[in-house]
Amino acid sequence: MRYRREEMTGTRPRVLLCILCLALVLWHASAWAVPEISGLKAADVTTSSFSLVWMSDVTGDPEVQVFSDSAMTKEMTDKVSILPMPASIAIAEAARLKGNMKILVSGLSASTAYYVRAVMRDPQNPANIGYSPIISITTASRIQPYTLGGNGTKAVSNDLAAFETYIRPSSNELVPGLGDLVIMETDSSPYPISAFVGETVTAPEGLLDLNNLFGTDGMSLDISGGEKLIFTVYRGGMLSSLTHYRRIPENGRMVYVSGPVKGFFADINLDRNVNETDFERFREHYRTAADAEFFNPDFDFIEDTNNRVDARDFSRFSREYGRTDVE
């Protein structure tokens, strides 16, 4: 009995010490956790400005640092204009609560490389600061509203693209989708363009100005129609986003709002082939339901009441697998 009591006496302090150490580790991790910066992109790059967009797991105010060199020895943040977006107070608050961040940097020179990183401070503990990797952005060279045609010049009049974001059935947002951030990319442009849902248009749509697209030569991009577009919607929450593939309608040479169009349903990435790449994207969404964080209606091929990506959708997809040159 004496041996048993001594054994217990020696064990209890060790258990208490382990508990204290675990509590200390958890406290230390919490106290020094830095805000996460996810999905960082340079967008809306013109001859004199660009935007930086990202998602964060905190609701703090976004910041950026701008440098003229990649080594970050020549900071010029105070020499340029820094403007948090959007201008609408209601949309800005909705975006901030979701962790969707966007800052417009202007007052720049054309055809010039800048180096920039995003900064997030934890509002609960300002000493906790998250920094993104530094990225390089080169401003466009020249806005060219006209291109040479058979009889001289013709006007480049790209459309406004209105993209409607997906709203989950259980959403309890007062204005569904408000504050979501839509990012649109095309293979012809090195940088995407972006817009907040509800900005100059009714939510849950985001309105993107295709005239702000510039080509790889730094000149204004002439959109003729049929180009593949990739829409990424930053929704916040669990740093979640949805990706959608669309094509732009034919350009009518008059500025108007147009909705991007879907391609053949099984050709998910619009490369005109139904292959393993499409299957891999479908597999990632298989068995997701309408209220799931990553449910994407583009993969719910059969319109029914269950609102799930299920075996019937897979069966329809599999019948098209292997097709080429689809429209």
Question: Domain extents for the chain?
Answer: 37-138, 269-327
CATH fold of 269-327: Type 1 dockerin domain (1.10.1330)
pLDDT tens sequence across 75-85:
999 999 999 99
Contact 98, 236 (CB under 8 A): yes
Q: Where are the beta strands (DSSP E) in the chain?
A: 37-43, 49-56, 62-67, 81-84, 100-106, 113-122, 125-131, 135-138, 146-149, 152-155, 160-164, 181-186, 193-196, 205-209, 228-236, 240-247, 257-258
pLDDT tens sequence across 112-144:
999 999 999 998 888 899 999 999 999 999 887
Beta-bridged to residue 43, according to DSSP, are 51
Confidence category of residue 24, pLDDT binned at 50, 70, 90: very low
Confidence category of residue 303, pLDDT binned at 50, 70, 90: confident
Q: What is the DSSP string of 156-221?
A: --PPEEEEEPP--TT---SSTTTT-EEEEEETT-SS-EEEETTSSS-TTEEEEEGGG-B-TTSBBP
CATH architecture group of domain 37-138:
Sandwich (2.60)
Q: For strand 228-236 and strand 113-122, is the pairing parallel, antiparallel, or unpaired? A: unpaired
Confidence category of residue 8, pLDDT binned at 50, 70, 90: very low
Beta-bridged to residue 12, according to DSSP, are none
Whole-structure pTM value: 0.85
Mean pLDDT score of the chain, rounded to an integer?
A: 87
pLDDT of residue 142: 87
Beta-bridged to residue 3, according to DSSP, are none
* CA diameter of the chain: 107
- The encoded tokens of residue 148 equal 């040479």
